[in-house]
Structure 1
Amino acid sequence: MASPQIPNSESQIPAELLIARIMQMHASISKLESLKPSKEVNSLFTHLVKLCTLPSSIDIKALSEEVQNMRQSLIVLSGRAEGLLELEFATFLTKLPQPLNNLNLFPYYGNYMKLANLEYTILSENGVVQPKKVAFVGSGPMPLTSLIMASHHMKSTHFDNFDIDGAANLVARKIVSSDAEFEKRMKFHTCDIMEVKEKLGEYDCIFLAALVGMSKAEKMKFLGHIRQYMRDGGVLLVRSANGARAFLYPVIEENELMEFEVLSIFHPTNDVVNSVVLVRNPIF
């Protein structure tokens, strides 16, 4: 029997079968009356994530127009469901006496921990160890990456979290206000990142969340704006997706990052969903 750690042609799911299964999942998800967390919603999305992280040799660029349209729809549905899950859970946390001590109750906490460890390793390998100021664009109501980075890796760093949704920031602020030290180091800004200009030049490192820019055109618009205003020599960590994981999140290709110096591209093969792309704004 083939080892699951080293996918080969025997252990990979055939692309046609995988696409058929994902299309079935999309049909079921599309029929839901609400994407708010429930037994049915949670079960469907858990199944979808498992499908999309199976070893496969699927080539997203080779998909038919029908499958590409389904994929775009699935990214939007998944993004909405993820936002609703985070909002419900973050709201629940604010009612606990010590919300920051209970982050591990979040269903995908382990996944975030693995991703943050991976991202910090990649940043460290590229000389970003204890940056003074970090921006996280698209932090949402449950700013787990910022919280994990601040408590486990970047213990003196100041974090500015940007989100267009004021309600999300309100809940995130409540979680952080339970700890005086965190509250000093972590701020939340409600705005469209396209309207943030000179301030982007303050950061040693900027994170761009996977769901900021749901389509390729939107994603490129955000990347272009950040590059224009970020500091020369500053680094930008972009979350992307690879293979079947691209049914959950938008993909950024290396050839779309020509304006940047590409430092690292990492595609996970475990249960982590996002690829990690690290680029530097060149110094001219």
Structure 2
Amino acid sequence: MSSAATLPAPSSLPPPARAVATPTAAPTSTPTTAITASILRIYAVFQRSPSLGPSPSVNAAFSELVSLCIRPYDSATAAAILEDRRVRAIANALRAKCSEGEFLLEAWWANRILAEEGRGEEAWTSLRAFPYYQNYMDLSRLELSALAAVHPAPIGSLAFIGSGPLPLTSICLSTLLSPPPRRIHNIDMSPQAISVSRSLCARLGGAAARLSFECADAKEVALEEFDVVVLAGLVGGSANEKREILRSVVRRCGNGALLMLRSAHGVRRLLYQEVELAELQALGLDVLLVVHPWNEVVNSVVVCRVRERGRL
């Protein structure tokens, strides 16, 4: 879930660029050695940065890291990168840096749109300029396709846990779902994130204005009424934390509800915590579908069904 970091005020910083520079390896370096060195160098940039909010150096570092992690590596190369002792030593801390940076980027952008004071289509135009807007649309389409494969019926209600200050997934779903669900509910533990995202959606109007919001801990929120519950990739910074959150969420879902989890595969696991599929059965879930993208969509999609309580 999003951290409770202080939301940055809009500034004159330019929008984060999506273009990345491909690092050049020394002639004697193997591809794996060059990639590992780049990951360690980027992590050092994060450590030296006084803030992981948008800035030219931080933007360039995050863009390069994402570009490195989403390359279509073969299994041997991916394993060599992830099992490097230096990479293993920083993996959890690197994911934490990514979580903080993503939160600050989204907060900065949401505050920028609010500061512009545009409404309706003008606000939508500003939102579509967000550098990863298309990535969110592509991920939302992928997730809806996965849901349709196991649940070929309209979605009546959906809860998104870990919506953050810029609830792009819910905004995308509000425009893509047809017929529109009676409720798309956003949950985050940060009061600031909820306040900013509620104001932003009111400014956007249309389908976004119908989204609802709640400031709550994922382990305590009531979820029985929802047909589909989505757990954001940043919810649970470690494997143990994600497992405990999942355990609580499953207990609070209704029998037969669909739980959609964002996971990661291959080197993308340096960006987001992987969901351990083998543990889901013991938590009361039946895994129905797993999708691993190989394009610019970073997250894997895991669709599960909550078993009836008598079968747990």
Question: What is the TM-score when the length of structure 2 is the normalising length?
Answer: 0.82
1:208 is the counterpart of 2:225: no
| Structure 1 residue 44, shift from structure 2 partner | 0.7
Q: 2: distance between equivalents of 1:129 and 1:93?
A: 35
State the shift of 1:178 in Å: 2.7
Report the CA distance shift for 1:184/1:269 in structure 2 as closer, same or farther (over 3 A). Answer: closer
Out of 42, 46, 54, the position equivalent to 1:25 is: 42
- One-letter identity of the residue aligned with 1:124: A
Please identify, of 136-145 and 185-194, the stretch whose mean Cα deviation from structure 2 is larger.
Answer: 185-194
Alignment of 1:97 with 2:116, yes or no, is no
Q: What do the CA deviations read for 1:199-242 (whole angstroms, capped 9, x no partner)?
A: 21111000000001010011001110111110111001100111
Specify the code of the residue in structure 1 equivalent to 2:195: L
Select 2:104's aligned residue among 64, 69, 84. 84
Is 2:267 the counterpart of 1:244? yes
Q: 1:215 to 1:192 in 2, by over 3 A?
A: same
Q: How many residues align?
A: 270
- What is the CA–CA distance in structure 1 between the aligned matches of 2:175 and 2:217, rounded to whole Å? 27
- AA aligned to 1:90 is A
After the TM superposition, which residues 63-212 of structure 1 pair with which residues of structure 2 at under 5 Å, given as runs?
63-64=83-84, 66-94=86-114, 95-98=117-120, 99-127=123-151, 129-157=153-181, 158-178=183-203, 181-182=206-207, 185-196=210-221, 199-212=222-235
In structure 2, do the counterparts of structure 1 residues 108 and 241 end up closer, same or farther at CA, with 3 Å as the change threshold? same
State the alpha-carbon separation in 1 of the partners of residues 295 and 260 from structure 2. Answer: 20
Q: Say whether the 8 Å CA contact 2:35–2:81 is kept in structure 1.
A: no
Q: Distance in 2 between matches of 1:60 and 1:213?
A: 25
In structure 2, what residue type is equivalent to 1:233?
A: G
Gaps of 5+ in 2: 1-29
How far apart in 1 are the matches of 2:45 and 2:259? 36
Deviations 1:5-39 (A, max 9, x none): xxxxxxxx844442232112111221112111011
2:174 and 2:208 in contact (8 A); partners too = no
2: distance between equivalents of 1:183 and 1:31? 38
CA–CA distance in 1 between the matches of 2:58 and 2:189? 25
Identify the range of structure 1 (136-145 vs 17-26) with the bigger mean alpha-carbon deviation. Answer: 17-26
Question: TM-score with structure 1 length normalisation?
Answer: 0.89
Letter in 2 for 1:269: W
Q: 1:229-268: CA deviations, max 9, x gaps?
A: 1011100110011111011110012102113110111111
Percent of matched pairs sharing the same residue: 34
C-alpha distance after superposition, 1:127-179 (max 9, x if no partner): 15421110000001110110110112244211110001111111111111135
Structure 2 distance, partners of 1:274, 1:49, is 11
Q: 1:60 to 1:136 in 2, by over 3 A?
A: farther
C-alpha distance in 2 between matches for 1:131 and 1:193: 21
RMSD between superposed Cα atoms in Å: 1.9
Q: Do 2:82 and 2:88's aligned partners in 1 also have CA atoms closer than 8 Å?
A: no
CA contact (8 A) 2:171 2:208 kept: no
Give the corresponding residue for 1:9. none
2:165–2:197: 8 Å Cα contact kept in structure 1? yes
The alpha carbon displacement at 1:67 in A equals 2.4
**CA displacement at 1:55 relative to structure 2:** 1.8
Cα separation, partners in 2 of 1:59 and 1:129, compared to 1, 3 Å: farther
Give 1:96 shift. 2.2
Specify the code of the residue in structure 1 equivalent to 2:111. Answer: T
2:3 is aligned to none
